[in-house]
Structure 1
């Protein structure tokens, strides 16, 4: 059987396993076993054991459970209330007013969480009742949370960037720093859209609230100081080269526990629930990574990635056309799989093509995360849509409709990233010069 036929067989096996409800990790392992048993003479058991051990025995991977635990601790704290109280006084004069709190709140929480669903849930549980009570448009409120919640995948410490970095053996610190400027760009794009929408739809925005004195605003914002210090401490130490991502994650957990204790939300139950939540999520991701590592190794034995890269080369696609094709591919795939599964499932096959086209691996990681962000707000498996459905009780299609403008903004961000690669590469280059 030629490589094209082998690829078709393995894709059919993968979708059969996923469609039957088998866990993603087991599906990846199953496809790897089929590929090696039927199409190579390599010892499957020995390759599986050494590959899974090699994928798991990584110091860089230790940052993953720590950052997840940090987000779990803060998810159970009063952080959403502090963010709302600290940001709301400064948004009163902007068109759209408190809807900007959703966007900025998600951006700030993303910088201490790394999870898209946790970002949408944490900010949404506070913002939705408050904005509804004040008469804000429900569709726009849901849309801002759906779109801004995806920032948890991009703004460091991003869980998905850790997964991508481990999968391709790239510097996680450089990937984190590369996500800062595109993340800030998306925040500004979302806020700009909300401001424009509010100017065009003044009747759907409640009247301006009484002005607050400057001193009062500053006093209200004091509740932002702890989380800002946490963000600066974690991301700043990585950027300056003082700490590795794993070291910074350990410090972040300690500071998150301290903040939770000082706010009075840390007790035995919240500590246990946060630790167990982090353990479950970390084990799930580590299991998927192990399955993906074995599948990658199996693909190497079959020669499929090399053949596909050569085939793509014969098409004479420009880097821009290759990215258009990959964008469509990732969006469709993201309609059926979560973001982490998309990354680990495709990296082994896609990366040789990307490198052959001369595309930077760091830049491609940021591009990939933004495209995966788009899949977080597309049915039927858009995780943010399910989170917001649970918070609002609305139909999933209503929530998806509210998220459409922000899907368009994410697509525009991909176009800008392609047109101006420096958006993702300038800060990592500066970091490299400093070290």
Structure 2
């Protein structure tokens, strides 16, 4: 049998065994990488692993990662989310679906300052679920809008997943952030569109409308959105305006989030330490996965699997669309068992050479991957947003999953749209670079 086939089978089998047995993802990746080097190469495994772990742990692009995570943790523990509900509610009360749209808009706003899907979903869900339940909104739609819109934390910049992809694929993180804006806004519009259509088709399941609010009162209540708008403007505007790098913008965001949290009240020393420790734990987990995945990438490269697979795909003469369809199915299957960062670092060494060989733009492919990972956030059994909403609502995982299914298909619709019309992704980066 071909040595490449043997090594690929050993890689896949051992990795699946370790992941199924509950071993940490990072340790599973490191173990498989060392086994691959030990069995199929003559490379000096010890020195290679040590140097790779070191080289992959100090990249400057990764410095923005813990800062954006910390910013999201600060906002998660502040009163800004409840202020957003009060500020957004009057503007959507006359739309079909009414206050359900607060979930979509609130998640979109939180995504622009948090960068994490789980933080976005938990922050808005903790605020909106009790309020919508009190007003007798259908719980399945409350859960569905939160499950779908919570994934906006991955697509609307600053996005932690985009940072990881940018580092892995050596694509500009700033350009990835810019590329995610239009698809993110389009996804919000699609979520709101589906919610409006559902409410029009099921008027008997919607609660009575609230009394209309005078326009002046709507403007007055909107003052609560000003702090969040300023924070978004300072973080995203500094990146898009070329004033700051993503790392510098993340620093601005942390300082701004701390100031707003303290001014808003309820954010003391205990909340500060909780946010800091949570950010440290998450950052260390992500960095450990990235470093260990780099070792597997080196091992796979030494065995020559990426080039062989790329040649195999080229020999099949798959069209770019067919290749994307195969990769999409592959990543959705992985998304049932792994979280997004693990998927990117695990598959990049194999997928990226194939994508490049097919002539697909790596910037566009980054957004394609992010949308797929968004879908993975709401697919069982390892859908993080599903677990978050299960803990908030107290419903079983099957009920939460059922409520999220329509929004999974909305994400698939976005995937089709950006594939057929790639300008949705590439248009804004080209405009800003030109």
TM-score normalised over the length of structure 2: 0.99
2:97 aligns with 96
2:197 aligns with 196
Q: Distance in 2 between matches of 1:325 and 1:298?
A: 24
2:241 aligns with 240
2:416 aligns with 415
Contact 1:157-1:176 at 8 Å conserved across structures:
yes
Contact 1:285-1:340 at 8 Å conserved across structures:
yes
Q: Distance in 2 between matches of 1:293 and 1:323?
A: 24
Q: Distance in 1 between matches of 2:340 and 2:398?
A: 20
- Provide the alpha-carbon RMSD of the alignment: 0.7
- How do 1:18-29 residues align onto structure 2 when only pairs under 5 Å count? 18-29=19-30
Query: Do structure 1's residue 82 and structure 2's residue 88 form an aligned pair?
Result: no
2:18 aligns with 17
Shift of 1:431: 2.2
1:347 aligns with 348
Shift of 1:168: 1.5
Q: Distance in 2 between matches of 1:419 and 1:291?
A: 36
Query: Do structure 1's residue 50 and structure 2's residue 84 form an aligned pair?
Result: no
Q: Distance in 2 between matches of 1:208 and 1:19?
A: 49
- Give the secondary-structure state (helix, strand or coil) at the position aligned to 2:151: helix
Q: Distance in 2 between matches of 1:294 and 1:335?
A: 24
- Give the secondary-structure state (helix, strand or coil) at the position aligned to 1:21: coil
Q: Distance in 2 between matches of 1:355 and 1:227?
A: 39
Shift of 1:265: 2.5
* Bigger mean CA offset, 356-365 vs 45-54: 45-54
Q: Residues 1-51 of structure 1: CA distance to partner in whole angstroms, max 9, x if unpaired? A: 520121011110101111111110000100100010000000111111111
1:133 aligns with 134
Q: Distance in 2 between matches of 1:163 and 1:265?
A: 33
Query: Do structure 1's residue 377 and structure 2's residue 378 form an aligned pair?
Result: yes
2:286 aligns with 285
- Give the secondary-structure state (helix, strand or coil) at the position aligned to 1:332: helix
Shift of 1:75: 0.4
2:216 aligns with 215
Alignment coverage as a number of residue pairs: 433
Contact 1:177-1:239 at 8 Å conserved across structures:
yes
Shift of 1:244: 0.4
2:300 aligns with 299
- Give the secondary-structure state (helix, strand or coil) at the position aligned to 2:157: coil
Shift of 1:111: 0.6
Query: Do structure 1's residue 7 and structure 2's residue 8 form an aligned pair?
Result: yes
Shift of 1:426: 1.0
1:166 aligns with 167
Shift of 1:266: 2.2
Q: Distance in 2 between matches of 1:167 and 1:209?
A: 49
Shift of 1:223: 0.7
Query: Do structure 1's residue 264 and structure 2's residue 265 form an aligned pair?
Result: yes
Query: Do structure 1's residue 426 and structure 2's residue 404 form an aligned pair?
Result: no
Moved over 3 A (4+): none
Gaps of at least 5 residues in structure 1 are none
Q: Distance in 2 between matches of 1:329 and 1:155?
A: 24
